[in-house]
A and B are shown apart, each in its own frame.
Chain A
Amino acid sequence: MATEQKILIIEDDTFINRIYKRVFSLSGFGIELAQNGEEAMAKMESMNPAPTLIILDIMIPKISGFEVLKRLKGDVRWQKIPVIVMTNLSEKTDEEKALNLGASLYLVKSDHNPREVVLKAKELIDKQIV
């Protein structure tokens, strides 16, 4: 890797963001963490280069994950960055909403091995580069 690829993890639960921070860094990625919607938008502005991929939780303080997703996809600077929505809301309507707003994937956290999440992220990044 010429430059380090950075993942922005937007997740307020300490136990869960520790898991994703760890598994992505073990897999060779750089990590930035935001614990609420406002912080996430601030990170987007300050990160240079922009993150390669974003892991986004829905139930986060201040600005909801859906709203963050809307803002990301509505901004020409960021709309092409793949977003994996990782949530424990398993309602079908939430999944449809996230995909309609432009999420690349909607994963229910408890249903996926962290390593699997990294593999899915890598696939999305590879597709992006091609």
Chain B
Amino acid sequence: MSYKTEWDLTLLYKNENDPKIEKEIRAVEKATKAFEKKYISKNFTSSAKSLLEALKDSEKLGEIFGKSFDLMKATQDSVEKKVVFETGGVVLGSKFLRVIVAPILITQDTSEEIIGYVLLIEDITEAKVVERSREEFFAIASHELRTPLTAIRGNMEMLQDFWTKLKDAEKKEMIGDAVLGSKRLLSIVNDFLDISRLEQGKIPLHKEPVDIIDTIEKSLREMKVLSDSKKIKIIFKKPNDLALSIRADEERVKQILINLINNALTHTEKGTITLSVEKTEQTVSVSVTDTGTGIPPENQTLLFRKFQQASSAVLSREATKGTGLGLYISKLLVEQMGGTIELVKSVPNEGSTFRFSLPLSSSPTTTIPS
């Protein structure tokens, strides 16, 4: 996996105005220009820019890095050992940066003199975010697997330990709970398997004409128990054009629909969920709109990422329903069927609209990668 990183480079001289090293400075600048042209991002983050500024001032450096990181000392070390010095992750504001320091040496007679340093700064924030969300994922995944396991184990052991004390109706209920627990466990395991297979392109997807209206109605029937129990009304705005056929895998389209409706139900306490269908020249898109909690703007870009949930508050129950894999799986499925999925709009405390589009079965451009 590769991450988008941004680089910046700067040159620091001990004495920029020393005429003795003018020639060397020009040579170094010429060499770095070429590198800069090739690798340096033009829209480097402003916080990194402020670090660059600060690097020119050792007092400011102390303020930024404190005792934990003495850049100038590190630079000296790197010179003595004649190696390039590199930091791990340096935190600057909300950014994680990697700083690389290379000494610029000139040789005079037999001695070497440092005339300055090349500083290369890399913004590794995105990589860090992914790393952290992966750690959170394992904590959440372990929790989600253990919960149904507790229901299975607990009920079974109680049946074993208290068999003669339990009434028949109780036994029946406990066996029922254990069965439901094992189903819940199975669906989580299936999610994990789906992801691993989808990522490797190993899930064979059927490419047949699918009646999207019929598929939506089937999905709604499956979700009825849950929506009834939450007392949330689901409205399906049926389009006038009743024969809408897409080219897809019906079971997988249902899986995407159920995931979106389930998410909407999970995050909606009152109000409605509305499904609508729209036809364009080559595609059919389905929108799912809820009147739920909405997603804070800063989290919206992370939604379709693996392991990611809209909220990173691991310990709040509202924030961690499920493993955070549903939208990621939906995205993989939609894309493998030649379509797109997106968050159309989301306003905190007002609700969200998700939409996916799949090619019409009559569409001439329909191609499904195998």
Contacts and interface: CB of A to CB of B under 8 A. Distances in A.
Nearest to B157: A113
Contacts of A59: 143, 315-317, 320
A91 B101 CA distance: 37
Nearest to A20: B154
A48 B236 CA distance: 50
Contacts of B146: 88, 90, 108-110
Nearest to B178: A15
Contacts of A64: 315-316
B158 A114 contact: yes
A118 B221 CA distance: 42
A8 interface: no
Task: Identify which of B151, B166, B173, B180 gathers the most chain A CB atoms within 10 Å of its CB.
Answer: B151
A4 interface: no
Nearest to B153: A110
Given A59-B320, A113-B157, A19 B150 contact: yes
A13 interface: yes
Nearest to B315: A64
Give the interface residue-count category, chain B.
20 to 34
Nearest to B161: A115
A83 to B, nearest CB: 16
Nearest to B166: A26
B143 A26 contact: no
Interface string A47-88: 000000000001111001110000000000000000000011
Contact of B151 (A15, A91, A115): A15
Contacts, number: 82
B109 interface: no
Contacts of B139: 89, 91
A19 B155 contact: yes
A12 interface: yes
B231 to A, nearest CB: 17
Give the interface residue-count category, chain A.
20 to 34
B142 interface: yes
B147 A16 contact: yes
A120 interface: no
Contacts of B161: 113-115
B36 interface: no
Given A13-B147, A90-B142, A115 B315 contact: no
Task: Identify which of B147, B173, B318 gathers the most chain A CB atoms within 10 Å of its CB.
Answer: B147
Given A15-B180, A89-B143, A22 B158 contact: yes
Contact of A66 (B162, B174, B315): B315
A65 B316 CA distance: 9
B78 to A, nearest CB: 35
Nearest to B144: A88
A64 B150 CA distance: 20
Contacts of A12: 317
A18 interface: yes
A23 interface: yes
Nearest to A97: B315
B316 A114 contact: no
B322 to A, nearest CB: 12
Interface in B167-206: 170, 173-174, 177, 180-181
B318 A61 contact: yes
A64 B142 CA distance: 19
Contacts of B155: 19
26 contacts: A12-B317, A15-B147, A16-B147, A16-B154, A19-B155, A19-B177, A23-B158, A26-B158, A36-B317, A59-B317, A61-B317, A61-B318, A64-B315, A88-B143, A88-B147, A89-B142, A90-B142, A90-B143, A108-B146, A109-B147, A109-B150, A110-B150, A113-B154, A113-B161, A114-B154, A114-B161
Closest 8 CB pairs of A and B: A88-B146, A19-B154, A15-B151, A110-B146, A109-B150, A110-B150, A110-B149, A61-B317
Interface of A: 12-13, 15-16, 18-19, 22-23, 26, 36, 58-61, 64-66, 87-91, 108-110, 113-115
Given A18-B173, A59-B315, 7 more contacts: A15-B147, A22-B158, A87-B143, A89-B142, A89-B143, A109-B150, A114-B161
Interface of B: 139, 142-143, 146-151, 153-155, 157-158, 161-162, 165-166, 170, 173-174, 177, 180-181, 315-318, 320
